[in-house]
């Protein structure tokens, strides 16, 4: 049986590395989506809306049978969304505000298979407790890890782990950017079972 083509609707190197762990061939494509939050939109609602918008935008470009994965992550500090800093000054300001605080990282994933009429979205939330940080620690970390493309300005898979007191999660891949437990569950529901597909090879 021919399998649908798998597409990751993202050019994030973190999500690409995570999806590659499943050992299935896939393409990547950048979705054309406006990521501006809507007035009054909560961080988890924003993550879910953008994940679906990304998956649907990419799926709409392909008339063939495809399974498209879209994902988005929003850091949440006391209900306020914290995005990617983009530069050193914004990253410093984020870490100053977050140090000693508890944050929630909402990582949403959407899987779309238009030929099967399938579209579903799940949001996985990870709670992160940051320890108190000195100015020198913040500057040293930012200089060494340059996490300017990461929501919340810290890479838990790298030196960012030194900034934390605890991570509470049901899926260790979620904080990195793509919750693989939820992703593979949605893929199965869409008719693309990873282990069954690998067995065919």
Please give the Cα distance from 93 to 111 (Å, whole number): 34
For residue 29, pLDDT beyond 90 = yes
For residue 17, pLDDT beyond 60 = yes
Averaged over 3-18, what is the pLDDT?
95
Delimit the domains of the chain by residue range.
5-200
Query: Which of helix, strand or coil describes residue 52?
Result: helix
The string of pLDDT tens digits covering residues 32-72 is 999 999 999 999 999 999 999 999 999 999 999 999 999 99
What is the average pLDDT score of the chain? 95
**76 annotated active-site:** no
Please give the Cα distance from 157 to 75 (Å, whole number): 16
Averaged over 123-138, what is the pLDDT?
97
- Two structure tokens written together for 73: 């992550």
Q: pLDDT at position 151, please?
A: 86
Q: pLDDT at position 198, please?
A: 92
The string of pLDDT tens digits covering residues 134-191 is 999 999 999 999 999 988 899 998 999 999 999 999 999 999 999 999 999 999 999 9
The percent of residues above 70 in pLDDT, for the chain, comes to 99
The string of pLDDT tens digits covering residues 105-116 is 999 999 999 999
Q: pLDDT at position 1, please?
A: 61
For residue 201, pLDDT beyond 70 = no
For domain 5-200, the CATH architecture is: Alpha-Beta Complex (3.90)
Catalytic position from the list 64, 72, 165, 193: 72
Q: pLDDT at position 83, please?
A: 85
Helix boundaries (H) for the chain: 13-20, 43-59, 88-98, 135-145, 180-189, 194-200
- The model carries a pTM of 0.92
């Amino acid at each position: 049986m021919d399998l649908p083509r798998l597409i990751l609707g993202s050019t994030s190197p973190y999500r690409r590395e995570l999806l590659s762990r499943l050992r299935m061939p896939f393409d990547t494509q950048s979705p054309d989506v406006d990521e501006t939050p809507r007035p009054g939109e909560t961080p988890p609602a924003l993550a879910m809306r953008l994940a679906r918008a990304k998956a649907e935008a990419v799926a709409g470009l392909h008339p063939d049978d495809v399974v498209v994965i879209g994902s988005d992550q929003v850091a949440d500090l006391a209900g306020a969304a914290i995005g990617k800093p983009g530069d050193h000054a914004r990253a410093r300001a984020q870490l100053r505000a977050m140090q000693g605080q508890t944050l929630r990282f909402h990582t949403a994933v959407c899987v779309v298979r238009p030929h099967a009429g399938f579209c579903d979205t799940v949001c996985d939330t990870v709670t992160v407790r940051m320890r108190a940080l000195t100015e020198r620690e913040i500057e040293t970390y930012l200089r060494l890890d340059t996490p300017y493309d990461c929501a919340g300005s810290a890479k838990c898979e790298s030196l960012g782990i030194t900034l934390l007191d605890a991570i509470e999660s049901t899926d260790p891949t979620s904080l990195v950017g793509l919750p693989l437990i939820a992703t593979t569950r949605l893929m199965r529901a869409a008719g693309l079972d990873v282990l069954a597909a690998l067995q065919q090879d």
